[in-house]
Amino acid sequence: MSGVTILMVDDEVEIIKLMEIYVKNEGYTLLTANSGIEALEILKTHKVDLIILDVMMPKMDGIQACMKIREENNTPIIMLSAKSQEIDKIAGLSIGADDYVTKPFSPLELIARIKSQLRRYKQLNSSTARNENEIQIDELIINAASHRVTVAGEEVKLTPREFDLLHMLAINRGLVLSMDKIYTEVWNEPFMESKNTVMVHIRKLREKIEKDPQHPQYIKTVWGIGYKIE
């Protein structure tokens, strides 16, 4: 896959030098940054196909940087961290990272993860390009132009608010959206402790699109944070 640009963000120079060899061997272009702040500046002026982001960095750590990037960018992100506990991996993935690699790591393993994420992202984009108005997630199809939703070929009747909520989750597929962000965007007004409103609409949506609302296939709850469609 030629023409690929990767941004590696890590304050450990030796790791960057090592990965530079492997990345260039694959024919990729490598941009580097030593902090989250520097990475955000690079993203303003460069088109990047994948980001490798270390968690522990000065000034702005990887978690903060990932959250800032995800505010307006869906580029695949692989997190690097010396922390190996499951809770740390969950934290990284829940704020928008696509994969998580624990230090010390094998450069060949990281290259394999990079290729996997690039393939996944390319497939997602190509399917979106085929019909910009339509989003398909397994048997769920959402058409933004007609406001039509089908599950396994059967049309599902949604209220305008329910459609906007489902569409917002779908276009941010893989990202965890907080209740306040959902409410602000869908209801177009300040949050003002409106958790119950969001929860009720999520429950109604699940009743309409899920085979088993108690064990949802599409709309997942990320406890203490919000909701996402995987």
Give the DSSP per-residue string, 38-107.
HHHHHHHHS--SEEEEES--SSS-HHHHHHHHTTT----EEEEES---HHHHHHHHHTT-SEEEESS--H
CA distance 127 to 125: 5
Residue 154, H or E segment? strand 154-156
CA distance 160 to 138: 22
CB atoms within 10 A of CB 116: 14
Cα Dmax for the chain: 56
For residue 2, the model assigns a pLDDT of 57
Contact (Cβ atoms closer than 8 angstroms) between residue 9 and residue 35: yes
User: How many CA atoms within 13 Å lie on the side-chain side of 50?
Assistant: 25
Domain 5-129 and domain 134-229, same fold? Reply is no
- Domain covering 5-129, topology: Rossmann fold (3.40.50)
CB atoms within 10 A of CB 213: 16
Instruction: Enter the CATH code of domain 134-229.
Output: 1.10.10.10
Give pLDDT tens digits along the chain (230 positions): 558 999 999 988 999 999 999 999 999 999 999 999 999 999 999 999 999 999 888 788 888 889 888 887 888 899 888 776 666 667 667 777 888 888 888 999 999 999 988 887 776 665 554 566 788 898 999 988 888 999 999 999 988 889 999 999 999 988 999 988 898 888 877 777 667 888 999 999 999 999 999 999 999 999 988 999 98
CA distance 67 to 107: 25
For residue 131, the model assigns a pLDDT of 60
Q: Provide Rg for the chain, Cα atoms.
A: 19
List the domain boundaries for the chain. Answer: 5-129, 134-229
Note the pTM of the prediction, 2 decimals. Answer: 0.56
β-pair partners for 79: 53, 100
Cis peptide before 104 (omega within 30 of 0): yes
